[in-house]
Amino acid sequence: MEELSDLLSVKHDAFYLLLRRYVAIDRAFLLRSDLWDEFQSFCAEVGSEGVCDPAFSRVISRMQEAAMDSPWLCVAMRPRIGRWRYIRFHVEAMEHEEIPVRDYLAFKERLVEGRDAGEDWVMEIDFGPFNRDFPRMVESRSIGRGVEFLNRRLSSQLFQEVGKGERWLLEFLRVHQIDGRQLMLGETIRDVPTLRRALRQAEDYLSGQSPEAEWDTVGQRLRSLGFEAGWGRTASRMRDTLHLLSDILEAPDPANLERFLGRIPMIFKLAIFSVHGYFGQANVLGRPDTGGQVVYILDQVQALEKEMRRRLDEQGLDITPRILVVSRLIPEAAGTACDQHLEHIVGTENAYILRVPFRSESGEVVPHWISRFEIWPYLERFTLEAEKEMLAELGGRPDLVIGNYSDGNLVATLMAQRLGITQCNIAHALEKPKYLFSDLYWRDNDDAYHFSCQFTADLISMNAADFIITSTYQEIAGREDTVGQYESYQTFTMPGLYRVLNGVNIFDPKFNIVSPGANENTYFPHTEKAHRLASLHAEIEDLILGGPREDARGVLKESDRPLVFTMARLDRIKNITGLVEWFARDEPLRSQANLLVIAGYVDASHSGDKEEAEQIGIMHELMDRYGLDDQVRWLGTRLDKPLAGELYRYIADRRGVFVQPALFEAFGLTVIEAMISGLPTFATRYGGPLEIIEHGVSGFHIDPNHGEEAARLIRNFLARAAENPEEWRHISDAGIERIKGRYTWSLYAERIMTLSRIYGFWKYITNLERDETRRYLEVIYGLQYRPLAAAIGRD
């Protein structure tokens, strides 16, 4: 605001001249890019007069959106990441005032619904009052590092009041059990002085024992002092853990607290919910609604099980951790295992997929696949049935539930509330920011997408979760110039339904960035010759360079050219058809490289999804219109994992590149798979790839709205690489290093297991449970979500 006031004090007339140009565009809403582009042309015209200085540019660059009803123009400004202000200008009177968010949203509603609609009573959703006394971060650089903040803030607060923190910690240590067996502390230690005394005695006792001694040697004595198993496998580890606790009782500090909590045996059983799509281990990827989330979860489960085992082992507990991924059972499984009730997860000891069917209103099992946009009315009943089966399978409550995507997060919410369990959410992809005006013009899309239901579910589960894991910072808070995916739920309106004044607070310490990885056994650099799967090369060569096949279109004529490779589910947002068109229209690129597309099906009759079928039609139309059959190979086939991994490397051997042209990509697992394989990668600047790739260093960002530029960037790179192979190698190496340093499953599992303990601890000893919020969420669930879901109807 200060910047705006300063600007208006020196450039008042010029500023209003620009606003009048905005009004002249004569559209109800202008986006940031519209506002910026118009500013650029304004500057080009008045530039010689020195009007457009950096201060002016800065103010315009902060404008995210404008809503217009001449002579009024309302602007949403984002002066800093996560901070919003709303200004109303009268462009004729040349006056302005700051307005509350409510007025801004009401103004937009009037524009959408017509003049009078804004006068009606409107349901407002506001989580602000519930969180008033809750610790919040202030600096945008702290966003996504919630656990650090929480530990620092709460540990000092907790131990300030003499005796309080210590007592709670003691109580917390007494609640741990597994299958009726007490862990950590027994019955006899009931107050802090006794605990301190016992700690001293135990440390003294252990110092006289062999450092390698285990519980069966030292346990009897420790038990007589009031301790139970769980402090460590060896005497030296036990001592170390006891010592950590004495240090915390003496003078708590966040780092020690994190280390200590990280050792407490709290997580033995884990339930992960991933409901939509085909959740399977083979033959599923690339089917509608079935992509990265499945890959993510299967890799996550392996990594988490390993980490759970490691920690239990270090703490001296011979307990086998159990993990269940709960998904939907689809009787008409289309050649997948999705009709199996229980399936062991390969690469794990004790992790299973548990599948539970959807039911019609009369209780019949629904046999066919259902789009993720249509599944809302099934979820409540699914949750109840899944709960029974899960409890039976695990032999009791899980210690943590993890929800995935809007539907899985809603199920996790319902389950966590019913059973009183710590809940973690993972969005994978929030639909709201993917589609332009998906909130404002929700009615236009509701029949096809039911966003009214989905966004309501999102609001409920985001606010219910104890902690939220995101893959990148931008997923929460965007950047200086882009709005974060979660941030887009902060304030919005769905005219005629409800208005959200405070939907989610991205400064909430529940947000933590923990990035996924690419499975190291499947995806590794093409230069690691010893692990390469040379036996697959003939098959790969046939796939790419071979002749016609039923599941392919196009036969590459000049087979020695480098390949421009892309692979994705064939939905509109992935913009595969966009890439085909850029390639088709760029003659020099066409004469230099071939395009390899793995997506969807070549035969639309194989597709059960409307959007996919539509994209298949466009693919054929483009191939025909531009005569691409000699230069594009389109494979409508699902590759198994080893083959897919080797394919990336094979293309890297031939000095190809990978392109991810999505209109928006929440994270982008293919991007990290391609990069770790050594393929120079060109990926969309909208979403996760903006953060994964450092432009010009470890890959390139492309703007899917400027296809010509993207094609030029790819073509120039290939030309440079043809002249000087070092150019190619340079980017390839940097891409590999980028992924190795930041995106690995072992880092991921370590963080999740620490976070779940810490949030579990704070939830136990403070009011992080937020009963008031829970009650409010129940009202929203009952009075908003349920009727919306019921209106969709079941098959």
Contact partners, residue 35, CB within 8 Å, separation at least 6 = 22, 60, 63, 65, 66
Cβ at position 141, least distance to ligand UDP in Å: 27
In the complex with ligand LCN, which residue's Cβ is closer, 256 or 577?
Answer: 577
CA distances 477 to 433, 487, 784, Å, are 12, 6, 27
569 binds ligand UDP (CB under 6 A): yes
> What strand order describes the sheet that includes 400-404?
342-344, 351-357, 322-329, 269-273, 400-404, 422-426, 467-470, 511-513
Give the residue nearest to ligand LCN (CB). Answer: 292
Cβ at position 294, least distance to ligand LCN in Å: 9
Cβ at position 664, least distance to ligand LCN in Å: 9
At how many degrees (to 10) do helices 164-173 and 192-207 cross?
60
Residue pair 552/636 in contact (Cβ under 8 Å)? The answer is yes
Decide which of ligand UDP, ligand LCN, none touches 508; Cβ closer than 5 to 8 Å per partner kind: none
Residue from 155, 234, 293, 488 touching ligand LCN (CB under 6 A): that is 293
CA distances 466 to 335, 425, 477, 491, 540, Å, are 38, 8, 19, 21, 46
Cβ at position 543, least distance to ligand UDP in Å: 12
Number of amino acids touching ligand UDP (CB under 6 A): 19
Residue from 492, 667, 728, 748 touching ligand LCN (CB under 6 A): that is 667
Task: Convert 316-372 into a string of H (helix), E (strand) and C (coil).
Answer: CCCCCCEEEEEEEECCCCCCCCCCCCEEECCCCCCEEEEEEECECCCCCECCCCCCC
Q: Residues 294 to 323: which contact ligand UDP by CB under 6 A?
A: 295
Whole-number Å distance between alpha carbons of 404 and 417 = 16
668 binds ligand UDP (CB under 6 A): yes
Cβ at position 618, least distance to ligand UDP in Å: 17
User: What is the amino acid identity at position 349?
Assistant: E
Whole-number Å distance between alpha carbons of 734 and 748 = 21
Cβ at position 610, least distance to ligand UDP in Å: 17
In the complex with ligand LCN, which residue's Cβ is closer, 428 or 450?
Answer: 428
In the complex with ligand LCN, which residue's Cβ is closer, 73 or 683?
Answer: 683
Contact partners, residue 493, CB within 8 Å, separation at least 6 = 105, 108, 109, 439, 440, 499, 500
Residue pair 100/107 in contact (Cβ under 8 Å)? The answer is no
Per-residue DSSP letter, 684: E
Cβ at position 731, least distance to ligand LCN in Å: 22
Q: Residues 635 to 654: which contact ligand UDP by CB under 6 A?
A: 638-639, 644
Whether the bond between 71 and the residue before it is cis, its omega within 30 degrees of 0, is yes
Q: What are phi and psi of 733, to 5 degrees?
A: -65, -45
Residue from 366, 567, 595, 683 touching ligand UDP (CB under 6 A): that is 567
DSSP code per residue over 98-135? EE-HHHHHHHHHHHHH-GGGGGS---EEE-GGGGTTS-
Whole-number Å distance between alpha carbons of 680 and 699 = 6
Decide which of ligand UDP, ligand LCN, none touches 87; Cβ closer than 5 to 8 Å per partner kind: none
Checking 87-94 for CB contacts under 8 A at 24+ apart, the result is: 87/1, 87/4, 89/16, 89/19, 91/16, 91/19, 91/20, 91/23, 94/12, 94/13, 94/16
User: What is the amino acid identity at position 8?
Assistant: L
Decide which of ligand UDP, ligand LCN, none touches 647; Cβ closer than 5 to 8 Å per partner kind: none
Residue from 232, 280, 578, 668 touching ligand LCN (CB under 6 A): that is 668
292 binds ligand LCN (CB under 6 A): yes
Question: Which region among 63-71, 609-617, 623-631, 663-671 touches ligand UDP (by CB under 6 A)?
Answer: 663-671
Burial of 329: CB neighbours in 10 Å, binned 0-12, 13-18, 19+: buried
284 binds ligand UDP (CB under 6 A): no
Residue from 118, 291, 699, 704 touching ligand UDP (CB under 6 A): that is 291
Cβ at position 429, least distance to ligand LCN in Å: 4
Q: Residues 669 to 688: which contact ligand UDP by CB under 6 A?
A: 669-670, 673
Cβ at position 440, least distance to ligand UDP in Å: 25
Question: Which region among 152-160, 206-214, 666-674, 775-783 touches ligand LCN (by CB under 6 A)?
Answer: 666-674
SS3 29: strand
CA distances 674 to 374, 476, 656, 677, Å, are 33, 24, 11, 5
Task: Measure the CA angle with vertex 479, ends 475 and 484; round to 5°.
Answer: 35
665 binds ligand LCN (CB under 6 A): yes
Residue from 75, 345, 666, 711 touching ligand LCN (CB under 6 A): that is 666
> For tokens 């890019």, what's the residue?
33
Stretch 573-612: interaction string toward ligand UDP, x if CB under 6 A: -------------------------xx-------------
In the complex with ligand UDP, which residue's Cβ is closer, 248 or 674?
Answer: 674
Give the residue nearest to ligand UDP (CB). Answer: 291
Q: Residues 397 to 456: which contact ligand LCN by CB under 6 A?
A: 428-429
Number of amino acids touching ligand LCN (CB under 6 A): 12
Cβ at position 680, least distance to ligand LCN in Å: 20
Question: Which region among 1-9, 40-48, 662-670, 762-770 touches ligand UDP (by CB under 6 A)?
Answer: 662-670
Tokens of 120: 């009606």
DSSP code per residue over 611-629? HHHHHHHHHHHHHHHTT-T
Stretch 675-704: interaction string toward ligand LCN, x if CB under 6 A: -------------x----------------
The residues pairing with 397 across neighbouring beta strands, listed in sequence order, are none
User: What is the amino acid identity at position 292?
Assistant: G
Question: Which region among 44-52, 289-297, 345-353, 416-424 touches ligand UDP (by CB under 6 A)?
Answer: 289-297
Residue from 286, 321, 357, 680 touching ligand UDP (CB under 6 A): that is 286
285 binds ligand UDP (CB under 6 A): yes
List contacts with ligand LCN (CB under 6 A). Answer: 292-293, 296, 428-429, 471, 665-669, 688
